[in-house]
Amino acid sequence: MTIDIPVILTVSSFLVFFGLWGVMKHRSDLMRILLALQLIFLGSLFNFSMGSALFYEATGLIFCLFSSCLTGVQIVASLTLFLVYFRKHTHLSVDRMKG
C-alpha cells in the first residue's frame, strides 16, 4: 500500500473545506470562526509537509514552520482584539456588532 498524491490532496482539500464550512456555519460566533481558520491553516500545513516528504525536499517543512508560527500569531492577535472589544462592549456577538 502506498501513499498517493491524490489521497494527500484530498485530505488537505477536505481540511480546507471543513475550515471554510466552519467559517460559513458559525458566522455569528467569532471564536468559532477563529477555530475554523486554524483548521484551514492545518490543511495547508499538512499539504506542505506531505509534499516535502514526497519530493524529498525540506523546503516544505520550512514553510510548515512558518505557517505554524503565523497561526500562533494570528490566534493571539485576534484574541487580543476580541478582548479589547469585549472590555468595551461586554459582548462578542457579530449580530449585535452590526447594530
Binding residues vs other proteins (CB under 8 A)? 1-3, 7, 11, 14-15, 18-19, 21-22, 25, 29, 31-32, 34-36, 38-39, 42, 45-46, 49-50, 52-53, 56, 58-59, 61-62, 64-66, 68-73, 75-77, 79-84, 86, 92
Rounded to a whole number of angstroms, the minimum distance from the CB of residue 67 to other proteins is 9
Q: Give the C-alpha separation, 5 to 47, whole Å.
A: 10
Rounded to a whole number of angstroms, the minimum distance from the CB of residue 22 to other proteins is 4
Residue 41 to residues 10, 38, 80, 82, Cα–Cα distance (Å): 15, 5, 19, 20
